[in-house]
Amino acid sequence: KQEVTQIPAALSVPEGENLVLNCSFTDSAIYNLQWFRQDPGKGLTSLLLIQSSQREQTSGRLNASLDKSSGRSTLYIAASQPGDSATYLCAVKETSGSRLTFGEGTQLTVNP
Amino acid sequence: GAVVSQHPSRVICKSGTSVKIECRSLDFQATTMFWYRQFPKQSLMLMATSNEGSKATYEQGVEKDKFLINHASLTLSTLTVTSAHPEDSSFYICSARSTGRVGQPQHFGDGTRLSIL
């Protein structure tokens, strides 16, 4: 059974700092991995999707990497801003038709 | 971009009431929609997978007679919490995947906060 772990569970940083969120998964045979953002009381916003054949994806100040063989993904946020404060979730899909398996999330607070 | 609309965003009702939550894909067709439940400070728990034109597939431990799912069209799935009780109070989130090309991201609604008094 696939298990997804995110470290740290919570992170507080000053504005402007670069930071890395970690996601690990137990079964490396994944189809894709997706990073989401969740604001309090809201649904999920998709940030980046990495297919199993890809090593990384970038969108603005966000960069997500994938190392399938070691079962790891990282989300790099450059020049963090208070508006980045949210919970970040990673999720893996094992086949094209399967469900997403979510990690517990990292709650990020960026202090002005 | 793709948008999933979920309605209502918040429901407060008395114990014993049945509550219906709608999930619509606004600019794409979704053969498959997913219903999740989220407890405070926890991740999403998949409740069921909704397939257009067929019966939903429920996860282990989820009562299908309690949580009725209907996916009558390629853009609409509904979740009805029947005879809701306080322990059903939670945040419910739907998600949809485009019927088109494989490998597309899954898109989520804004969630429904259900509070049963």
What is the residue type of B42? Q
Residues of A in contact with B107 (CB under 8 A): 46
Nearest Cα to B63, choosing from B41, B31, B44, B37?
B37
Nearest to B103 among A89, A96, A99 (CB): A96
What percent of chain B clears pLDDT 70, i.e. is strictly above it?
94
Query: Looking at the predicted structure, is the pLDDT value of residue B105 above 80?
Result: no
Q: Give CA B18 to chain center in angstroms.
A: 15
Give the model confidence (pLDDT) of B11-65 as tens digits. Answer: 999 999 999 999 999 988 888 899 999 988 888 999 999 888 888 999 999 999 9
What's the mean pLDDT when you consider all of chain A?
94
Nearest Cα to B78, choosing from B107, B110, B56, B108?
B56
Question: Is there a contact between A42 and B111 if contact means CB atoms under 8 Å apart?
Answer: yes
A2 interface with B at CB cutoff 8 Å: no
Give the model confidence (pLDDT) of A58-71 as tens digits. Answer: 999 999 999 999 99
Nearest to B110 among A34, A43, A105 (CB): A43
Query: Looking at the predicted structure, is the pLDDT value of residue B112 above 60?
Result: yes
A104–chain B nearest CA distance, Å = 5
Query: Looking at the predicted structure, is the pLDDT value of residue B68 above 80?
Result: yes
Give the model confidence (pLDDT) of A79-109 as tens digits. Answer: 999 999 999 999 999 877 678 999 999 999 9
Residue B29 has a pLDDT of: 87
pLDDT band for position B6 (50/70/90)? very high
> Residue written as tokens 């309690």?
B66
Rg (CA), chain B: 14
Residues A18-40 have a mean pLDDT of 95
Nearest to A44 among B42, B46, B108 (CB): B108
B57–chain A nearest CA distance, Å = 11
B117–chain A nearest CA distance, Å = 19
Query: What residue of A is the nearest CA neighbor of B43?
Result: A104
**How many contacts, defined by CB atoms under 8 Å, are there between A and B?**
49
What's the mean pLDDT when you consider all of chain B?
90
Compare B89 and B104 and report the one with higher pLDDT: B89
Query: Looking at the predicted structure, is the pLDDT value of residue B1 above 70?
Result: no
Q: How far apart are CA B10 and CA A104, in angstroms?
A: 24
> Residue written as tokens 């970040």?
A88
Query: Looking at the predicted structure, is the pLDDT value of residue B101 above 70?
Result: no
